[in-house]
Amino acid sequence: MGVLIFVVCIWVVKSATIDIDSVKAGVLKQVVKVDRDNVEAYRFLAAYYDRSHDFEKAAKFANQLVRIEPNEPKTWNDLGDEYANCGRYEEAIMAYNKAAQLDPNWPWPHICLAFTYKDLHRYNEAIEEVEQVIKLEPDVVGLKVVLADFYSQAGQYEKAVAALKQVVDAEPDSSQAYYKLGEVYLKMGNKNLALEQYKTLKSLDEDLASQLFELIYR
């Protein structure tokens, strides 16, 4: 009985939170009609509609934020996220590029650009963005797994293999890299090399090894 009461209390609290946020959003929409430069109000509204999956409204309020804070890279990047959520990819690319211009040493806009280009099957542009991130964050070895995946999707298999070999040289227990190597070798039609990756992978991650085995013999 005690557990049931606790669960009901949690549900009530969560329901109350949702209602409070909804009421707050309604109030703040009236506030910004009077105070058009209220940053905190627009920030709350953009986040509220993002959580509600009403991305068009979130983008509308994120746009007001960049009007008020035109030199803030995070504000532009957040706008790019909302545009991407709406499927307005060209506008997302514009916003991410603006964020990257405002802070050339911040890798996150380039990551967002890379995955946006990937979603559009513009793999060469995605590759350029990941390469830029690697220049900014050279010690993050896992980025080369992402780069290899993009090379593979672009049909640049030799480059994918080279990138993945750099990963396993730096991190010999990188199960993801061995799995990706097996995947790329299969795309290249080299089943024997794919099997070698499977054998190595078995001692690192049995689940991934099983997935690779199924790819090899499906």
Count of Cβ atoms closer than 10 Å to residue 34 Cβ: 7
Residues 11-29 have pLDDT tens digits of 445 555 456 888 787 767 7
Residues 136-145 have pLDDT tens digits of 999 999 999 9
Pick the CATH number of 24-140 from 3.40.640.10, 1.25.40.10, 3.40.50.11610, 3.40.109.10: 1.25.40.10
What local confidence, expressed as pLDDT, does residue 116 receive?
A: 98
Distance CA 66, CA 189 (A): 49
Residue that is written with structure tokens 């099997």 in the block: 195
Ranges of residues in the chain with a pLDDT under 50 are 1, 3-12, 17
What local confidence, expressed as pLDDT, does residue 7 receive?
A: 42
What local confidence, expressed as pLDDT, does residue 218 receive?
A: 85
The domain spans of the chain are: 24-140, 141-218
pTM here is 0.83
Residue 69 DSSP one-character state: -
What local confidence, expressed as pLDDT, does residue 15 receive?
A: 53
Can 24-140 and 141-218 be said to share one CATH topology? yes
For the domain covering 141-218, report its CATH number.
Answer: 1.25.40.10
Distance CA 101, CA 117 (A): 18
Q: Which ranges in the chain belong to alpha helices (H)?
A: 2-34, 39-51, 55-68, 73-86, 89-102, 108-119, 123-136, 143-153, 157-170, 175-187, 191-202, 206-217
